[in-house]
Amino acid sequence: MVVTSVCVYCGSRMGANPAHAGAAEDLGRMLAQAGLRLVYGAGDVGLMGTVARAAQAAGGETFGVIPQHLVRREVGKSDLTTYVVTETMHERKKVMLYNSDAVILLPGGMGSLDELFEAITWRQLGLHDKPIAILNTDGYWEPLRALIDHVVAEGFADAAHSAVLHWAETPQQAVACLTGTKIQ
């Protein structure tokens, strides 16, 4: 599969660790430099805003999707290449995933987890076969990795379902594992 567009799920907050903002900025810049379109939640706050501003500053194409009820709360970033306002959160997630070839999860909260698990579930059900990378900046997602391993060990998911997740420690590794490029 050729990847030309990457959906990034991430926090609408900055989080407590400054490394997360650095990873978001690096990822946005790398996507643009690789000629990959950023698809994300269209907010101009938190890590969402950081990744989008970095992609824009590097000349990248940006595709943002935000539900009407979050336009003010997440400060809808209307200066994107493409800015879509949906009626519902479910519609937002569907438009984001359908307009991308791959997924990267940065640190985030409950919304990011919701987006990730929907992407995993849809893949498990055969609705897509897009690669999914989890950017584990400073070990942020280690508890998630343990939970997924536990679900598999307890027989509620096949090991093949967790094997589709690519774990990356750096933005470079995340982009490389989704695009099949070598890390420089």
pLDDT by 10s per residue, the chain, length 184: 899 999 999 999 999 999 999 999 999 999 999 999 999 999 999 999 999 999 999 999 999 999 999 999 999 999 999 999 999 999 999 999 999 999 999 999 999 999 999 999 999 999 999 999 999 999 999 999 999 999 999 999 999 888 899 999 999 999 999 888 755 4
- How many residues does the structure list for the chain? 184
The amino acid that residue 34 corresponds to is: A
CA–CA distance, 139 with 168 (Å, rounded to integer)? 10
CA–CA distance, 171 with 169 (Å, rounded to integer)? 7
CA–CA distance, 127 with 178 (Å, rounded to integer)? 18
* Residue extents of the structural domains in the chain: 5-139+166-179
Q: What is the fold of 5-139+166-179?
A: Rossmann fold (3.40.50)
- CA dihedral 68→74→79→83, nearest 10 degrees, is -40
Among residues 112, 102, 101, 109, the alpha carbon closest in space to that of 41 is found at 112
For residues 103 and 97, the answer to whether their CB atoms sit within 8 Å is yes
- The secondary structure element, H or E, covering residue 162 is helix 159-163
Helix (H/G/I), strand (E/B), else coil: 22: helix
DSSP3 helix / strand / coil % (the chain, rounded to 5)? 45, 20, 35
Q: What angle do CA 179, 167, 142 make, to 5 degrees?
A: 160
**CA dihedral sign, ordered 69, 73, 79, 81:** negative
Query: Which pLDDT belongs to residue 184?
Result: 47
pTM, two decimal places = 0.95
Query: Which pLDDT belongs to residue 182?
Result: 56
Hey, how many other C-beta atoms are within 10 angstroms of the C-beta on 170?
A: 16
- The tokens 């690096």 sit on which residue? 26
Query: Which pLDDT belongs to residue 48?
Result: 98
Among residues 23, 43, 156, 124, the alpha carbon closest in space to that of 89 is found at 43
